[in-house]
Structure 1
């Protein structure tokens, strides 16, 4: 198995040859390295939906699926399309799978292990647990928002708002005190970089270093006595009862901090950017409710892409997918498909639908409502999206005047 993408060593001639072959076969090429894609990926996905909805990318050595019906079908079919990448025949493999091969993350597992491990955390994210959590979550959000400054101050919401709130919420549900916001944020960023299909061998090395540092930080917290009612306590109980191994309990916490903090952070940054750019009297700024948050989640699609591996030969959208082929499902494109005739797929679908979807909505509603209620005149000054992002839609800065 390759240890990450080696695209930086293949050279410009190789890249041009790949793109030329794609154009000859499909009439267009998918080039996520282009600045135009980074600025407006939705325009590129609209072209793919129209002209090549199941598109073979020679750059990424996988299929890129953009229409809603095809994406929704693959998400539901966990028998044919597996989450584990182990059976792939592709030349280039996601660097993330090399981080901890013996302890794969929840989103890279299939039944029966996926079913068992998901069951270990399901109660933590259930309606009753979130009802009990809500008052403490809202107080946490209020403290973060009030610490931003005074009306009129110029503030970057990415490090001061969007990044901090998910970390504080993770501490609430897990019972672990991290005491290292900047370092944890950097580790999460570097590890998540290993999920990008444009990642390089250098990215994989960074991800591995950060993964080990983040794991050591979590281990330090787990060494302290667990407080009853927290996820740390629940997992420790399951380990003692023999329902989980120690390694599985650790990996579940690692998965939740990686998946839960970065995706919510990206959503909050983009949602705050959009809302602060609206005129002060815009209805969306006056009332942040579940309907508005759901609409923002659909439009933003914090997780832009998820990957699957075909277990057997099959057809998708009229194209033949061989056993072992990797398939990238573009959730962001599916949600914007004019032909969409079903629920949004922002949180995935089927047995792998995000276990923390309810919590993400609760965080989004609480954080955005508190920001706009505390600073009703907040207005956008500038925003800069992160470069080389395909799997996630991230922001380097979202600067506002409070």
Structure 2
């Protein structure tokens, strides 16, 4: 199998459509499907069905990683680590989640807005000093979320160049060599363990220090689970925002330039637009969040047998014509009709949702305000995709103003 560097060396200009153009197929009742290795599974695609699968305690995560469970990934990665918070259930999951929940409440995230806004302006100042055309991914969509997560986690500047290397392997799409992934994740886990140890002895004003204090007060949380929690925050906290910024800039500049001036002049409208784009533009090509049926469960009038793997496809559910308009991109400034499933639902709802919304809203609003004439400097169909990861966005995006 190829490594990420080999995969990224291929142009792949037209092999994949932009994320906003993906054909999700027809939404319908739960139906049989298959996992990548051929194992039978069930696909839930309607909005109420997906919400039920993600919220019903009879559908669990941890059994998916039992010794005899079918493989959900082509190669081991961070997402398939059974010690990751997302892969815990019941009390084990609640203990981990409770130490993190307070840090990501809407009120807590709102307190971060001033310094996040300052980082946005710092990135835009650096962009303005460049002579166009400029790669807006390398100069804006990547450095902004890296700066934000580094500030939150109290990471040294020297670590920043390694974040992408760790993220590409943590979220590998299977194109990396298994030993390479294993070696990188071992190195990454060692970093996470060392970071936790340092914060225990020298706590600071950062998220890791808060987690260590809360975990030690809670008690009973295995250290390996804390390490995976920290590692997941480090890579997940910047990869998703980078991907979302890149994909939405490609869409807005390539297909919807008429909304650019309103985006830059009206922050309230920018907030609505950011929510709608989070809802409509998925992060990757993977389909469905997997669950294990602990017993026979009826979903949408269909009986799912105990022991089945169920894929809850949030992207399909976000296109359910019974819930959302059949032409979802018509009015980007229209509030969502129902809460989006872009961040999941139920006990595993993404705790970083408010931070992601804030970064995307500020990131899009301020770049449109500072660069009202920003435009693509290459055809949208000529984009080269960043490969090797379960998230997908442009490798680069040349813009001028």
* TM category, shorter: 0.7 to 0.9
Matches of 1:394 and 1:324 in 2, distance apart? 35
Q: Which sits farther off after the overlay, 229-238 or 114-123?
A: 229-238
Matches of 1:265 and 1:141 in 2, distance apart? 13
Q: Which sits farther off after the overlay, 363-372 or 152-161?
A: 152-161
User: For residues 241-390 of structure 1, what are the structure 2 equivalents within 5 Å?
Assistant: 241=217, 243=219, 244-277=221-254, 278-279=256-257, 282=260, 283-288=262-267, 289-302=270-283, 305-317=288-300, 319-340=302-323, 342-382=338-378, 383-387=383-387
Higher relative contact order (CA 8 A, sep 6+): 2
Q: Deviations over 1:221-247 (max 9, x none)?
A: 445454544212112223443524433
Deviation at 1:192, TM superposition (A): 0.5
Matches of 1:175 and 1:45 in 2, distance apart? 40
Deviation at 1:358, TM superposition (A): 0.6
CA shift in 2, pair 1:366/1:74, >3 Å: same
CA contact (8 A) 1:85 1:309 kept: yes
CA shift in 2, pair 1:84/1:170, >3 Å: farther
TM-score normalised by the chain length of structure 1: 0.78
Matches of 2:154 and 2:377 in 1, distance apart? 36
Matches of 2:22 and 2:293 in 1, distance apart? 25
Matches of 1:222 and 1:228 in 2, distance apart? 12
User: For residues 152-171 of structure 1, what are the structure 2 equivalents within 5 Å?
Assistant: 153-171=132-150
User: For residues 94-109 of structure 1, what are the structure 2 equivalents within 5 Å?
Assistant: 94=73, 104-109=83-88
Q: Secondary structure at the match of 2:351?
A: coil
Q: Secondary structure at the match of 2:89?
A: coil
CA shift in 2, pair 1:97/1:207, >3 Å: closer
Q: Match of 1:3?
A: none
Superposed CA RMSD: 3.3
Matches of 2:264 and 2:278 in 1, distance apart? 16
CA shift in 2, pair 1:321/1:99, >3 Å: same
Residue ranges of structure 1 left out of the alignment (5+ in a row): 1-5, 7-33
Q: Secondary structure at the match of 1:49?
A: coil
CA shift in 2, pair 1:154/1:182, >3 Å: farther
- For the pair 1:38 / 2:16, whether they are aligned, the reply is yes
TM-score normalised by the chain length of structure 2: 0.78
Matches of 1:40 and 1:157 in 2, distance apart? 17
